[in-house]
């Protein structure tokens, strides 16, 4: 797929942080202007405010659903839950590209409600594959959004996302021409519930800033970079492949220091939360043997031999791709976080 010009795009979980960022880029035509974009989510309030945001209206009116703009594709909204196969079966027809961003993604919440995480992340993906297979005969590609926690998982989120990846890989064996792929990355700096917004809110209140442990590290990328991974995979990924960005990592304590700057704000250590790792891994020791480099990305080839057409050749990675091998100090983090903030403002201004 060269670009998305004229494509009919469905985004599940389109009102979430990542989903909204994807929609912004789609509407801006960064990869060609789609024919239309459909947001599928279960949150009517978020859909309402997102509709108003794109219509550039400060308050709702009875006669405005979405204000058309000649330089943007139409934006459509569907209320539905990926747990509901019937809702997906109604939403999928009429689309060429599906970006599957709907998920339960908070690590502690998934630990306390594992069955709910399975219902959304696993059963929801099964429902989507079934809906595409039975009703989405025009769908050319489905890309699922995974996480570094799916790699050698120790928590419910990672376990369910790891299974999601495998469901999408296996779906390539179904009759039809739909390509199922996935992307996997680390901590998205500006997403709801992630560490940076949490630290920023604590700093605004004057502290203290809470850190789980001094040794904890994470991969860092912006929402904009996360969307780039999705678009790159749509363009280049083969059936069953998983795209992974090469991004920096840092100690969370250094992220906090960069955000605090010269303010007199205390920092306390609270211990690891349920299901957390000290270090995250994007490519495991076992996966590195079927991982190749493609541009600025690592690509994990599918485990199923039916989907691997050529010899992998030499290993693309000499070791596991872990956040333990940190690459950013406090000064570099300060500059990086400032760039993230500036880019987010630029994205917000795109549709002004």
Rg of the Cα atoms in the chain? 20
* DSSP codes, 152-206: S--SHHHHHHHHHHHHHHHHTTSSSS-EEEEE---EETTSTTSHHHHHHHHHHTT
Secondary structure of 80-128 as H, E, C letters? CCCCCHHHHHHHCCCCCEEEECCCCCCHHHHHHCHHHHHHHHHHHHHHH
The token pair at 189 is 């700096």
Question: How far, in Å, CA of 304 to CA of 169, rounded?
Answer: 8
Kindly give the interhelix angle for 17-28 and 223-236, rounded to the nearest 10 degrees.
Answer: 70
DSSP symbol at 299: E
Sign of CA dihedral 24, 196, 345, 2: negative
Kindly report the backbone phi and psi dihedral angles of residue 88, in degrees, each rounded to the nearest multiple of 5, phi listed first.
Answer: -65, -40
* Residue 45 φ/ψ region, left for φ over 0, alpha for ψ in the -120 to 50 degree band, beta for the rest: alpha
* Inter-residue contact 165 to 155 (CB < 8 Å): no
The token pair at 284 is 């495991």
Distances (CA, A) of 289 to 184, 186, 279, 314: 17, 21, 21, 8
Kindly report the backbone phi and psi dihedral angles of residue 94, in degrees, each rounded to the nearest multiple of 5, phi listed first.
Answer: 90, 15
- Is 277 designated active site? no
Active-site residue identified among 149, 161, 257, 277: 149
User: Among 183, 98, 102, which Cα is nearest to 137's?
Assistant: 98
Question: How far, in Å, CA of 13 to CA of 136, rounded?
Answer: 18
* Inter-residue contact 112 to 150 (CB < 8 Å): no
Q: Which residues are the active-site residues?
A: 149
């Amino acid at each position: 797929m060269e670009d998305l010009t004229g494509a009919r795009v469905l985004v599940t979980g389109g009102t979430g942080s990542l989903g909204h960022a994807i929609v912004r880029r789609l509407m801006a035509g960064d990869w060609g202007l789609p024919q239309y974009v459909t947001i599928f989510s279960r949150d009517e309030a978020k859909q309402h405010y997102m509709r108003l945001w794109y219509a550039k209206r400060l308050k709702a009116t009875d006669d405005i659903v979405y204000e058309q703009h000649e330089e943007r594709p139409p934006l459509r909204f569907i209320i539905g839950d990926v747990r509901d196969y019937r809702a997906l079966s109604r939403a999928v027809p009429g689309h060429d590209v599906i970006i599957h961003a709907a998920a339960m993604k908070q690590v502690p919440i998934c630990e306390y409600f594992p069955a709910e995480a399975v219902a959304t992340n696993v059963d929801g993906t099964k429902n989507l594959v079934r809906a595409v297979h039975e009703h989405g005969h025009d769908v050319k590609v489905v890309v699922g959004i995974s996480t570094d926690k799916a790699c050698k998982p120790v928590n419910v989120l990672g376990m369910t996302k790891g299974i999601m990846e495998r469901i999408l890989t296996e779906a390539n064996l179904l009759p039809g021409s739909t390509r199922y792929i996935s992307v996997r990355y680390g901590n998205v700096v500006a997403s709801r519930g992630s560490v940076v917004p949490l630290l920023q809110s604590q700093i605004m209140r004057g502290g203290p800033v809470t850190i789980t442990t001094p040794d904890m590290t994470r991969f860092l990328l912006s929402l904009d970079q996360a969307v780039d991974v999705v678009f790159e995979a749509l363009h280049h990924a083969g059936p069953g492949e998983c795209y992974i960005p090469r991004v920096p990592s840092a100690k969370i304590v250094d992220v906090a220091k960069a955000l605090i700057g010269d303010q007199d704000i205390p920092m306390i250590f609270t211990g690891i939360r349920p299901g957390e790792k000290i270090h995250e891994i994007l490519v495991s020791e076992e996966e590195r043997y079927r991982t190749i480099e493609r541009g600025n990305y690592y690509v994990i080839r599918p485990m199923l031999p039916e989907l691997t057409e050529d010899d992998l050749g030499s290993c693309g990675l000499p070791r596991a791709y872990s956040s333990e091998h940190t690459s950013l100090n406090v000064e570099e983090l300060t500059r990086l976080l400032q760039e993230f903030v500036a880019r987010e403002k630029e994205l917000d201004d795109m549709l002004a």
